[in-house]
Amino acid sequence: MNSLLKITDLQKTYKRRNESIDVLHGLNLEIAEGEFIALMGPSGSGKTTLLNLIGGLDQPGHGTIEIGGQRIDSMSQRELARWRARHVGFVYQMYNLLPMLSAIRNVELPLLLTKMGRAERRLRAETALELVGLKDRMKHKPAELSGGQEQRVGIARAIVTDPTMLLCDEPTGDLDRKSGDQILDLLQGLNESHNKTIIMVTHDPHAAARSSRTLDMDKGMLCLSAAA
């Protein structure tokens, strides 16, 4: 497999009042195109910080992040925003859907940042909803959907731009086991059938077992890499 992500000597420190908090300590990581990675570890181990750095939502204090041959750690905020819109789809634990919008309007939102016309946006959003099995619910608002359906809308929104990778932060954390398994089936299908690179933060070994590789973090460092 071709390498998609290469992280070298990554460090991140946050300032809190007069205190410096070291979150990541010289982390090195390489992920191949088409991998499904589960990122595990206790709360405060740096998992979400690492995910945010990979997604260009934050910038490191030291080290390099190269994705698809591009150094995102040295990009400006404007460059990062354009890069994220093209290359990253985010899936959150709490869905982050706008309650006043229908499912299809929620899915269309990332496309508003493009030069795509209204008809093409609509077609792309319908296709994404069909892919996650919710085309018949596209006019429903979030309050009219189950938690599992809301998360599938969230995944449709994440894939509507055909991103290079999906970054998932506890995507099954707010769901019961049955709904969670349906979301994991969907993610696994996107990985295996559409070759989407997925990095998923999770506390659940059951969810991690769906990945192709599990990375364990503790105190800002990777401490174990094993095949799932």
The domain limits of the chain are: 36-55+76-227
Average pLDDT over residues 186-210: 94
> What pLDDT shows up at residue 228?
39
Average pLDDT over residues 107-116: 88
> Over pLDDT 70: what percentage of the chain?
97
Domain at 36-55+76-227: CATH architecture: 3-Layer(aba) Sandwich (3.40)
Q: For 113-167, what is the HEC assignment?
A: HCCCCHHHHHHHHHHHHHHCCCHHHCCCCHHHCCHHHHHHHHHHHHHCCCCCEEE
**Dihedral sign from CA coordinates of 134, 139, 145, 147:** positive
d(CA 8, CA 210): 27
* 0.85 surpassed by pTM: yes
The DSSP secondary-structure symbol of 42 reads -
Tens digits of residue pLDDT in 153-162? 999 999 999 9
The CB density around residue 166, as the number of other CB atoms within 10 Å, is 23
**Strands across the sheet containing 62-67:** 19-32, 3-16, 62-67, 70-71
